[in-house]
Amino acid sequence: MTTLTARRPRIDSTNGVWLALGMTLIVGGILVATDGGSLFGQNSTVSLLQRAAGLGIVAVGQTFAILAGSLDLSVAYVISLTSLIAAETMAGSDGRVLPAILAVVAVSGAIGLVNGLLITKLRINAFIATLGVGLLIKGYLEQGYAGPAGSVPVSFQHLGYDRVGPAPVAFLLFIGVAAVAWLVINRSRFGHHLIATGGDLDVARLSGVRTDWVLIRTHIICSLCAGIAGLYLASRLGAGAPRVGAEGGYDLESIAAVVLGGTVLAGGKGGVAGTVGGVLLLAVIDGIFNQLAVDPFFKQVVRGVVIVAAVAIYALRLRRKVVRKAAA
C-alpha cells in the first residue's frame, strides 16, 4: 500500500525459446552453408515444417495438460490407435472420411475423459493414470495388429502431402490448432481457470473454480489433439500404424517441446506460443543435423543437452527472481 515495487520489464520465459530458435537458425544456417548445403531451401524447409506439424499438434494438447498441472503420457498410443481407426474406417473410400474423423474424435475424446476421471475422481497421480491408460491401449494394439492396417483414400492424403506455397497443409493445421488454443488459454474463462488450477489447486477451488471439471476438459482436449495428430499420420502414411506414436516418441517429445517453450512443468505458467517455438526449435535442430548428415546418436545427445540446458536456464532465472523478491 505504501511502497510500490519497482517494475521491471517482464522477461517471459516463453520469449526465450524464440530467441534460441533465431540463434539456432543463424548458426545452423551458416554451418549447413559451409557444408555446401542449404537449410532454407525449398525441400529442407518443407520437410522441416512437415516434421513439426505432427509433434506440434500433440504438443499443443500437452500444453493444456501441463498448464493445468497435469501431464499426459498416453498421447503416443492414442496417436497409433486413432491412425488405425481412421485408416480402417475409411478403408480407401472417399465417402467414409467424415465418419472416420468422427470416430477418431469420439474415441480420443473418450480416452481423455477416462484420463481426466482417473485423475480427478479416483485421485490417481496423472503420471501413473495416463501411463496406465497408455499401456492399456498399447496392449490392445499389440494384440490386434502386427503391422499397418486399413487404407486412406487419396482425397484424404491431401492433408499429408499438399502445401500452400512452402507451407504444408499439415503445418497450417498445426498453426490453426495453436491459434485456437492460444485464444482458449488466454481469452476464455476456461483458460483462466486452467491456469489457476495449475498454479494452485486450492486457491482455484477456494475461489469457486470447479477444478475437477477443468482437469477433465483439459485431458479431453489433450487427447483430441493426439487424435488429430493420428489423423494426420494416417494421411501421411496412407494407412494406420500400430507403432507410429510410440516410435515417434510423441509422449516425451511433446512434453519436451512444451517445457522448451517455457511452460513450467508444475503448471500455472507458460503458454502455447512458447510451445510452438519449442516444436520449431526441435524440428530445426533435426533439420540441421539431417543436412549435416550427423550420426543419429549424436543428434539425440544434442537434443538432450538442449532440453536440459533450457530448463536449467529457466530455473536459474526463476531463482534469481525469487532472490530479488526476497531482497525487496
Partner 1 sequence: MHGVGKSFYGVSVLSNVDIDVHPGEVHAVVGENGAGKSTLMKIASGVYQPDSGTLRIAGESVVLHNPRDAQAAGVGIIHQEFNLLPERTVAENVFLGREPTRRGLVDRRAMRARTAELLTAVGAETVRPTDRVGALGVAQQQVVEIVKALSLDARVLIMDEPTAALADHEVELLYALVRRLQARGIGILYVSHRLAEVFDLSSRITVLKDGRRVVTVDTADATPEALVRHMVGRELASYYPPKADAPGTALVTLAGAGNGRLRPIDLELRAGEVLGVGGLQGSGRSALARALFGVEGFTAGRMTLDGRPVRPRSPRQAVRAGIAYVTEDRKGEGLALSQSVLDNALLASRAATPRWFGGGARTTSVRDLLAAVEVHAAGADQEVRYLSGGNQQKVVLARWLAMKPRVLLFDEPTRGIDVGAKAAIHELIRDLADQGAAVLMISSELPELLGMSDRIVVMRDGALAGELPGDASEEAVLSLATGTPHEVPA
195 in contact with partner 1 (CB under 8 A): yes
Q: How far is the CB of 194 from partner 1 (least distance, A)?
A: 12
Among 79, 118, 126, 204, binds partner 1 (CB under 8 A): 204
Is residue 150 within 8 A of residue 84, CB to CB? The reply is: yes
Q: How far is the CB of 208 from partner 1 (least distance, A)?
A: 4
Stretch that binds partner 1, among 2-10, 57-65, 283-291, 305-313 (CB under 8 A): 2-10
191 in contact with partner 1 (CB under 8 A): yes
1 in contact with partner 1 (CB under 8 A): yes
11 in contact with partner 1 (CB under 8 A): no
106 in contact with partner 1 (CB under 8 A): no
Give CA–CA dist 164/166, Å, rounded: 6
209 in contact with partner 1 (CB under 8 A): yes
Is residue 278 within 8 A of residue 261, CB to CB? The reply is: yes
Q: How many residues bind partner 1 (CB under 8 A)?
A: 34
208 in contact with partner 1 (CB under 8 A): yes
Tell me whether residue 48 or residue 201 sits nearer to partner 1 (CB atom): 201
Stretch that binds partner 1, among 70-78, 87-95, 206-214, 285-293 (CB under 8 A): 206-214
Q: How far is the CB of 311 from partner 1 (least distance, A)?
A: 17
| 278's grid cell | 519449442
326 in contact with partner 1 (CB under 8 A): yes
Is residue 314 within 8 A of residue 262, CB to CB? The reply is: yes
7 in contact with partner 1 (CB under 8 A): yes
Length, in residues, of the chain: 328
Give CA–CA dist 234/81, Å, rounded: 10
Burial degree of 154 (CB within 10 A; 0-12, 13-18, 19+):
exposed
b/e burial code for range 272-309 (CB count within 10 A of at least 16 → b): bbbbbbbbbbbbbbbbbbbbbeeeeeebeeebeebbee
- Which residue type, as a one-letter code, is found at position 36? G
Give CA–CA dist 5/269, Å, rounded: 21
Among 205, 243, 299, 317, binds partner 1 (CB under 8 A): 205
Longest distance between any two alpha carbons in the chain, whole Å: 71
Q: How far is the CB of 141 from partner 1 (least distance, A)?
A: 38
End-to-end Cα separation, the chain, in angstroms: 15
187 in contact with partner 1 (CB under 8 A): yes
125 in contact with partner 1 (CB under 8 A): no
Tell me whether residue 146 or residue 326 sits nearer to partner 1 (CB atom): 326
Q: How far is the CB of 63 from partner 1 (least distance, A)?
A: 16
3-class DSSP state of 32:
helix
Among 163, 192, 299, 317, binds partner 1 (CB under 8 A): 192
Q: How far is the CB of 114 from partner 1 (least distance, A)?
A: 25
31-38 contacts, C-beta under 8 A, 24 or more apart: 31/288, 31/292, 32/288, 32/291, 32/292, 35/291, 35/292, 37/291, 37/292, 38/291
Q: Which residues bind partner 1 (CB under 8 A)?
A: 1-5, 7, 10, 183, 187-189, 191-193, 195-196, 199-200, 202-210, 268-269, 323, 325-328
